Amino acid sequence: MNKSEFIKNTALEIGFDACGIAKADFLEEDAFFLKSWLGNNFHGEMSYLERNFAKRTDPRIIVEGCKSVIVTLLNYYPSQFQNPNVPKIAKYAYSKIDYHVIIKEKLFLLENKIIAKYGEACFNKNQQHRFVDSAPVLERRWAERAGLGWIGRNKMLINPMLGSFCFIGILMINAELDYDEPIQNRCGTCRKCLDACPTNALTKEKGLDSRKCISYQTIEKKGKISEDIRPKLSGYIYGCDICNDVCPWNKTRTKATQTAELEASDKIINWKFQNWENLNEEEFYRIFKHSAIQRAGFNKLKENIMT
């Protein structure tokens, strides 16, 4: 078993649902697109996306000596769902524990097993090299380059076996490995996600206009939800799953997560409208203390509930 096979097999043993490897390189096309996207102000108030541009498009700047990008997927599709008539939470935030914590722990285990097998020289210990949706890393593009799927018209990574309800974890390693080949985009002529988006946030060529996105409006946007978006929230108070739910690749292939830590919170599954409406600040911080829902904060979530 060579190094790449060991890494992939170990990732699966740890509990990841898929693992691929890409050569660390400059993302030239993404750099060009990102400049245009930012120039159109599609990022809204997310000014952090303007920073660290060079790092965002070249992992070798993020981690000195980086030669390979190990990409992992973790399925988070729940086995239970909210009542559709209550204020809705995006499925990725169903669990009691923030997914960042869960994936970082698994990446830490993977790193330690690699070190135990091949030595500490594989990693630059002086720099961060484990990433989960919280650093200037284009995770979906690296997953695509690592052969784990393609970026669909809903701008989500779509894996042919798992669908798009997957978290992406990144481990940057200072070693040459065997690299996976990207797979062909299989969206074909389908435009279900484009047609289903109630705010027209998805564009066919220019990417996602975050300012119109329900997820952005209910989480990232400071202050009140835009007046023109309020009637189109479709019941969501935190995030949105519409473009995922209508995707045909999620209709037949998506299976419930096997990761116990990602199982849905009883509160989210069982709460009625009155529970959400009567939620107070003390309850919010007690119930959602370790949840991804913390990102919005109590005031933002409460305002979304009352919108």
In a domain, 181, yes or no: no
User: E-assigned strands of the chain?
Assistant: 18-23, 68-75, 88-89, 130-131, 150-151, 157-158, 166-173, 202-203, 207-208, 236-238
pLDDT band for 92, please (50, 70, 90 cuts). Answer: very high
Residues 129 and 200 in one domain: no
Residues 150 and 218 in one domain: no
Residue-level pLDDT at 205? 75
In a domain, 125, yes or no: yes
Residues 23 and 103 in one domain: yes
8 Å CB contact between 58 and 26: yes
Residue-level pLDDT at 278? 96
Residues 128 and 196 in one domain: no
Catalytic residues, which ones?
133
8 Å CB contact between 269 and 82: yes
User: E-assigned strands of 43-192?
Assistant: 68-75, 88-89, 130-131, 150-151, 157-158, 166-173
Residues 136 and 237 in one domain: no
Residues 166 and 225 in one domain: no
| pLDDT, tens digit (0-9, with 9 covering 90-100), for 37-83 | 999 999 999 999 999 999 999 999 999 999 999 999 999 999 999 99
In a domain, 208, yes or no: yes
* pTM beyond 0.85, yes or no: yes
Residues 50 and 146 in one domain: yes
In a domain, 101, yes or no: yes
What does the pLDDT average to over 88-109? 97
8 Å CB contact between 131 and 138: no
| pLDDT, tens digit (0-9, with 9 covering 90-100), for 243-263 | 999 999 998 778 999 999 999
Residues 96 and 167 in one domain: yes
Residues 84 and 32 in one domain: yes
Domain end marker among 143, 173, 203: 173
The boundaries of the domain holding residue 86 are 3-173
In a domain, 145, yes or no: yes
* pLDDT score of 206 more than 80: no
Residues 83 and 28 in one domain: yes
Q: What are phi and psi of 24, to 5 degrees?
A: -70, 125
Domain end marker among 128, 145, 173: 173
In a domain, 212, yes or no: yes
In a domain, 180, yes or no: no
In a domain, 282, yes or no: yes
Instruction: Provide the domain count of the chain.
Output: 2
Domain end marker among 122, 141, 173: 173
Residues 32 and 120 in one domain: yes
Residues 203 and 84 in one domain: no
